[in-house]
Structure 1
Amino acid sequence: MTVNISEVVAAAHEAGVKLIRFEYCDVSGIARTKAVHVAQLEHKLLEGVSLTRAQMSINLLEQMVPIEGFEPVGEIRLVPDPSTFTVLPWAPGSASVLCDQLGHDRLNWGACGRSYLKGIIERAANHGISVQATFENEWYLAREVEGKYLPFDLHDHAPVYSSIGHDLNNDLMIETVDALVAQGIVVEAAINEFGAGQQEISIRHSNALAAADNQMKFRDTIRGVALRHGLLASFAPKPYPEQVGSGAHLHFSLWDLAGTTSLLYDKTAEGGLSKIGRHFIAGVAEHLPALVALTTPSYNSYRRLQPSAWSSATTAWGFDNKEAALRVCSPFFKREEQSFNIEFKTSDASANPYLALGAIIAAGLDGIERELDPGEPSEHDPAHLSAEELARGKVRPLPTSMSAGLDQLEADEFLVGTLGEFLTRCYLGVRRSEAEAFAAEDLDFEIRNHFYRF
C-alpha cells in the first residue's frame, strides 16, 4: 500500500498526535527510536532524522564497541516508510513509523537490516517467488518486586490453555488484541502458554517486509499495554531457567509473484510438499548452524535450544514434528493450498527480524538454486533417532553457545556474502562483545540484562 507524506501528516493531526517515534532495530535486536514533534513531521518524513554511525555499534549492555566504520564520526538518516505510520493505542498522543537507515545519497549505508531484507525479497522475486510470513511470539508477564521479576500467575500456576488462565489476564489480553487490530494487524489466536505467566498471540501472515515490520509493532504493543497494567512483558528466550522458553516461531510460505498460486504446496507430492519446497528446506537446513547466530542470537537463546524442548537442537525437518527445526504444518480442511506453510522453530524475539527473515529466505533460495535435497523427514524426536536415521535425514547438531554460533556464521561464506562485509563486521563485533561480557558474569546478570531488552 502506497501512502504519501501529506496523508500521514493529516492522519497525525486528526488523531491528535504530538510525538512520532522514528523507529529502527539495531543488530542486538533492540527497538530504538528518536521522536519528532508533529510540527516537524512533514519535512522529517522526507529528509529523515539524523543518527550517528556509532549507534549501530552499541551492544545489548549499552556499551559502544570499537568497530572500524562505526565510530562516532559522520551521520546517517532514519528515513521512514510512510506506509508504516501507526497511532499507538497505549500511548496517548504518540505514533510511530518504521525506518530505513540511509546515507546522504538516500541508499542503504551498508548496515541497515530493513534494507537487507528488501534486497533478499528482490532476489526472491528474480526467481519468481514471493514470500508470506509471520512471527508467532511467546512471552512472559511479570511484576518487578524488590529487584526480582516474578511471573504474573496464580499461586499454583494456571494450566496451559486453561479457562482460569484466560480469566486471569482477560482485560489485559482484550486491550492488547484491540491495540494490535487498531494498527491493522490481524489477530488469529490468543492463549495462555505452558510457563507461569507465559502468553502467546498469533497474527496473520503478510508479505515478508510487512511481517518483519509487524514483529516490531507487535513487541512494542505487548510491552506498552502490559506497562499500562503495571506489568512487564519479557520476550527473552529463557527468562526463567526453570520454565519453558519463549520462541518467535516463523511461519512462511512461498507463492508466485501474483500471490495466487502456492509454490510450496503440491497435492500429488508426499505430505503435500512441492519439489521447490524440499529444495528450500534443504537450503535452510544446510545453513542452519550459521543461521542461529541471526535467528536465536542472544546469549540467553542457547538455554532454550535444548533437545526435547520443542525448540530444536538439530537441523532436522519433518511433517508436523514439533521437535524439528523445520516443521511442515498440516493444512486446514478446504484451505489446503492457502494454509500450507512451514514453521521455523529455531527463532526467538531477541533477533533483529529483518536480518533473521532475510537470512532464512536467502538460505532457502540457495537450496533452490543448487537443487539441494533435505534428506528424509524425521518422524520422531531427533533425540531418540538412531545414528542411521540421523544420517538419512542429514540431521546435524546446532551450536550450543553464542560464541559457537557466531563462529559458524563467520565461516558460512554464502550467508556472509548476502550480508556484505560491512554489516557482517558490525554484527560479529557487537555480538562477540556480548558473548564475552555475559560469559564473564553469572546467571542473575544474564537474566536481568535480557529480561526487558527485547
Structure 2
Amino acid sequence: MELHERDERRAAAEAVLGELAEAGVVGVVLPWVDTSGITRVKSVPLARLPGAAQWGVGMSPVFDGFLVDDSIVAGSYAGSAIGDLRLHPDLSRLTVLAGQPGWAWAPVDRYTQDGEPHVQCSRSLLRRLVGGYADEGLTLKAAVEVEWALGVGSLPEGADPDAFVPALAGPAYGMTRHVEVSDYARDLLQALADQGVAVDQFHPEYAAGQLEVSVAAQDPVAAADTALLVRHTITAVSMEHGLRASFSPKVTADGVGNGGHVHLSVWRDGQNLMSGGPGTFGLTAEGEAFTAGLLEHLPGLLAIGAPSVASYLRLVPSHWAGAFAVWGLENREAAVRFVTGPSGHRQAAANVEVKCVDGAANPYLLMAGLLAAGRAGMRAGATLPDPVGIDPGSLSEEGRREAGITALPASLEEAVRAFESDTELTGVFGTELATTIVEVRRGEIALFAGTSPEGVTRAVRWRY
C-alpha cells in the first residue's frame, strides 16, 4: 500500500467523522471471518477511525489457526503467536448499525506490516477473483440466503445453558409463526432497511424456531459483506428482544439444519449468461460452462462451504440439503438448483443456487471457491450432464449408479481429501491458505473424534 493511498484513506475517514458523531456513533466494529467460519472483531473509538483507515489496527495472524472452540492449530503457516497484521476498514461499506446503537461497522482487509495483502485474507482473495472475471469482460451477481434458529434467551435455573428451546411454536412456514415473530421481524426488517440492506423476502422456515431472510444480489464481495452484516444485525436485534440466534449448520441433532445457500449469475455486456441461450433451460454456452465448473468441483468445495463436522449432520438425503452432485430445474434436492425465474423476467432473474453449503462457511472463502470453480469450467468449455428432475435419495443405490448420480462427501474428512486433490481450487487459494484450510479442518475432525451427534450440535450451537 502506497503512502498516497494511506493518506487518501485517512482523508476519507476524517470526512465522515462529523456525520457519524451526529448519528450517535462512538465506536466502529471491524470484523473479519476466520478459517473456521467464526466472525472475529476488533473495534476502535470513533476518533481513532482515521488512524485505523491509514495505518490499520494490529491483530495477530494466529487467528488463521483458530478452531470453532477457540483452540488453536499450530499449523504450517498459521497458529503462531509471532508476528502482526493490520486490519484496514473498507470505508465504502461503512454502516451505522441500527440494531446496535452507538456503533458503526466496516469489514476489513488484512495486510502485512509492509502494506501487502495478507496471503490468507479471504476478502482480498475474493476481490482478486472478481477482478479476474472483470478482465475477461464478465461481471457476477451473488447473494447469500441467511437461515437461523431463534431460541429463548432465558432458561430456567439449573437448565443446560447451551440448550436450544425454540422461541416460536408455530408450524413450518406457518402464519401463526409469523404472527408470533411479528414485532421481532418488524424491528429486524427496519434495522436492515436503515442499514441499506435490500431485503427480498423474509419468512418462517422448516425447522423449529427457524427463520430466513433473502437479500438482493450484488457483486460477490458486497454479497459476502452483506451476509456478514445481516447476521450481525440478526444477533443484535435478537438480543434486544431477549432471544438468541443460531446460524449453526445443525442446531439440534434430530432437526433440519441452517443452510447458507448461495445464488450466482454471470453477466457479459449487460446480458445474463444464465438465460436467453440455446442450451438446456435457456443457458448460454458460457453459463453452462460456469455451472458445470461448480458441479465438477463440489466435492472439494465442501471443505470450504460445509466446513464443520456438524455440516455433515445436515447434509443428508431427502432433507433439501443437496446431498448429491447433480443439478436440476427448481430441484431442491439437487446440490445445484437451476432457477429460471418467471416467464417475462428470466433475463434478470435466472441464476444457480448452490444448496449444499451452510451457515458455518466463511462467506468470502466460499464465494472465492465458487468463482474459482466456475472460472475453471468456463476456461475448459465444460458441459453439464443431464439435469435430474427427481429426489436422488428416492432411488436405490443401483438406480443412482445407472443414472450416473454420485453422492457428495458424507464427512468432513472426505471433503478435505477431495479439496486436497482438487488442484484447481488449491492452486487458486495458494499453498499457505490451502494448507491452513486442510489443517484447521483436520483439527476440528480431531476435536470431535468420538463425539455423538448430540455432543457435536451442542458444542457448535452458539458458536456461529
TM-score (norm 1): 0.95
Displacement of 1:385 in angstroms is: 4.6
Question: What is the CA deviation profile of residues 103-124 of structure 1, one whole-angstrom value per residue up to 9, with x for unaligned ones?
Answer: 1232222110101111111222
Q: Counterpart of 1:143?
A: 152
- Give matches, 1:280-299, under 5 Å: 280-299=290-309
Displacement of 1:210 in angstroms is: 0.3
Amino acid at match of 1:271: F
**Counterpart secondary structure, 1:363:** helix
Q: Counterpart of 2:141?
A: 132
**Counterpart secondary structure, 2:108:** strand
**Counterpart secondary structure, 2:334:** coil
Question: What is the CA deviation profile of residues 252-301 of structure 1, one whole-angstrom value per residue up to 9, with x for unaligned ones?
Answer: 11112x5x211221254431122112111111111111101101111111
Q: Counterpart of 1:173?
A: 185
Amino acid at match of 2:315: L
Matches of 1:388 and 1:50 in 2, distance apart?
Answer: 56
Displacement of 1:238 in angstroms is: 1.4
In the alignment, is residue 437 of structure 1 matched against residue 447 of structure 2? Answer: yes
- The equivalent position to 1:374 in structure 2, one of 384, 401, 407, is 384
**Counterpart secondary structure, 1:121:** helix
Amino acid at match of 2:288: R
Displacement of 1:164 in angstroms is: 1.0
Question: What is the CA deviation profile of residues 345-382 of structure 1, one whole-angstrom value per residue up to 9, with x for unaligned ones?
Answer: 01111000001011011101101111112210011112
Residues 375 and 392 in structure 1, CA contact (< 8 A), matched pair in contact too: no
In the alignment, is residue 66 of structure 1 matched against residue 74 of structure 2? Answer: yes
In the alignment, is residue 27 of structure 1 matched against residue 35 of structure 2? Answer: yes
Displacement of 1:175 in angstroms is: 0.6
Matches of 2:140 and 2:403 in 1, distance apart?
Answer: 26
Residues 376 and 393 in structure 1, CA contact (< 8 A), matched pair in contact too: no
Moved more, 46-55 or 269-278: 269-278
Moved more, 385-394 or 206-215: 385-394
Matches of 1:19 and 1:170 in 2, distance apart?
Answer: 30
Change in CA separation of 1:315 and 1:289 when aligned onto 2, cut-off 3 Å: same
Q: Counterpart of 1:210?
A: 222
- The equivalent position to 1:163 in structure 2, one of 163, 175, 182, is 175
**Counterpart secondary structure, 1:361:** helix
Question: What is the CA deviation profile of residues 218-275 of structure 1, one whole-angstrom value per residue up to 9, with x for unaligned ones?
Answer: 111111110111111011111112222211111111112x5x2112212544311221
Matches of 2:119 and 2:403 in 1, distance apart?
Answer: 37
**Counterpart secondary structure, 1:264:** coil
Residues 17 and 47 in structure 2, CA contact (< 8 A), matched pair in contact too: no
**Counterpart secondary structure, 2:448:** helix
Q: Counterpart of 1:122?
A: 131
**Counterpart secondary structure, 2:148:** strand
Matches of 1:447 and 1:390 in 2, distance apart?
Answer: 30
Question: What is the CA deviation profile of residues 381-431 of structure 1, one whole-angstrom value per residue up to 9, with x for unaligned ones?
Answer: 122357797568753211111111111111111100010001112211122
Change in CA separation of 1:435 and 1:11 when aligned onto 2, cut-off 3 Å: farther
Matches of 2:396 and 2:176 in 1, distance apart?
Answer: 42
- Give matches, 1:178-217, under 5 Å: 178-217=190-229
Matches of 1:392 and 1:362 in 2, distance apart?
Answer: 30
Change in CA separation of 1:267 and 1:370 when aligned onto 2, cut-off 3 Å: closer
Gaps of 5+ in 1: none
Matches of 2:187 and 2:207 in 1, distance apart?
Answer: 22
**Counterpart secondary structure, 2:113:** coil
The count of residues paired between Structure 1 and Structure 2 equals 448
**Counterpart secondary structure, 2:436:** helix
Q: Percent identity?
A: 33
**Counterpart secondary structure, 2:143:** strand
Gaps of 5+ in 2: 1-8
Matches of 1:446 and 1:387 in 2, distance apart?
Answer: 29
**Counterpart secondary structure, 2:165:** strand
Amino acid at match of 2:132: R
Q: Counterpart of 2:100?
A: 91
Residues 277 and 285 in structure 2, CA contact (< 8 A), matched pair in contact too: no
Q: Counterpart of 1:153?
A: 168
Question: What is the CA deviation profile of residues 276-328 of structure 1, one whole-angstrom value per residue up to 9, with x for unaligned ones?
Answer: 12111111111111101101111111011111111111110011111111111
Displacement of 1:4 in angstroms is: 2.8
Matches of 1:252 and 1:393 in 2, distance apart?
Answer: 27
- The equivalent position to 1:233 in structure 2, one of 220, 236, 245, is 245
Structure 1 vs Structure 2 CA RMSD: 1.8
Moved more, 440-449 or 305-314: 440-449
**Counterpart secondary structure, 2:253:** coil
**Runs of at least 4 residues of structure 1 off by over 4 A?**
385-394
Amino acid at match of 2:104: A
Matches of 1:279 and 1:219 in 2, distance apart?
Answer: 32
